[in-house]
Structure 1
């Protein structure tokens, strides 16, 4: 089984939920904008869990359109430094859906993006993140241009606790 096999069916199973996840991301971005923040929303075409044994790295690989990737690069070139992040989680059909907000508090700038993974196919990725004490997301294009975001609290990417009523998590982050 290669590194992408567990997510093959996840993509099609995510589609019934995807409009709601995108709407949640847009509502989250709107809340930031109401507070005076500049936001950038990313719209992934696919998300794949990675783990070291298969991919030489671990985390979520998030494929975005070239123009959105270029907008992320421009932010970074302009000196945006993400110092915190928030993760909002939900579950459906054994999939974990997240909306990630990378934050630069000095510049009041945020990048928002949704992602998902199949709980049953991401055990290695989740275990590696917990062992390392960090989680990564890789924002990339089809031509493999990439930006790596580092999240210093991998627990917020774990499946949400059904006992917990608030699935929003906020923490400091490194780019």
Structure 2
């Protein structure tokens, strides 16, 4: 029998919302661990995360990666931080439930001791085009944007394998 939560068009968190709450808690704990280790940390709290391109996209997109919608104040903070720091590595923590990949990603600017921590999710089936592009480029992107959708901060993750579902893209 098919899982009703896996229907196309259903929200990726359908049926796994409690697990998402745990992932957000894990992101907060991860941010605190970095702070205790002396890092200057920005925590993001996504309102939505969308794979780009997705299976549901009807028009081609030159952009690819996880599009992360954050509150305007958080976006402004991230925008300020990336102007003064070079983010050159990342740590990722991954789990999967019900066909959805959950991530806690810490983008790191090691020279300046800054980190941006963000919890994310994507439904594997919907993210197939994004995952294929990331695998081909050997790079994933996290695209952070405000609700106004007029600006972007893009973080690039070399060696995207930790962000892929178990077993790869």
In the TM superposition, residue 160 of structure 1 has moved relative to its aligned partner by 2.8
Task: Confirm whether residue 66 of structure 1 aligns to residue 53 of structure 2.
Answer: no
1:115 maps to which residue? Answer: 120
The runs of 5 or more residues in structure 2 that have no matched partner are: 1-6
Deviations 1:126-175 (A, max 9, x none): 111101111111000111121111111121111135xxxxxxxxxxxxxx
Correspondence list, 1:77-92, <5 A: 77=83, 79-92=84-97
Q: Distance in 2 between matches of 1:14 and 1:151?
A: 26
**Cross-structure match for 2:3:** none
Corresponding residue for residue 51 of structure 1: 53
Which residue is 1:135 aligned to?
Answer: 140
Distance in 2 of aligned mates of 1:7 and 1:87: 27
2:150 pairs with 1:149: no
The residue aligned with 1:30 is 32
* Equivalent position SS for 1:160: coil
Q: Over the residues paired in the alignment, what is the CA RMSD in angstroms? A: 1.8
Counterpart CA distance in 2 for 1:112 and 1:44 is 11
**CA separation of 1:41 and 1:55: change in aligned 2, threshold 3 A:** same
1:126 aligns with 2:131: yes
Kindly indicate whether the alpha-carbon contact (under 8 Å) linking 2:100 and 2:122 is maintained by their aligned counterparts in 1.
yes
TM-score normalised by length of structure 2: 0.85
Tell me the equivalent position of 2:19.
17
Which string of whole-angstrom CA distances, capped at 9 and with x for unpartnered residues, describes residues 47-82 of structure 1? Answer: 0001286332211000000000000011123x1111
1:8 CA drift (Å): 4.2
Change in Cα spacing, 1:57 to 1:13, as seen in structure 2 (3 Å) is farther
Gaps of 5+ in 1: 162-175
Partners in 1 of 2:78 and 2:69 — Cα distance?
13
Q: Which runs of 4+ in 1 moved over 4 A?
A: 5-8
Q: Which of the two has greater helix per residue?
A: 1
Aligned positions, number = 156
Structure 1 residue 26, shift from structure 2 partner: 0.8
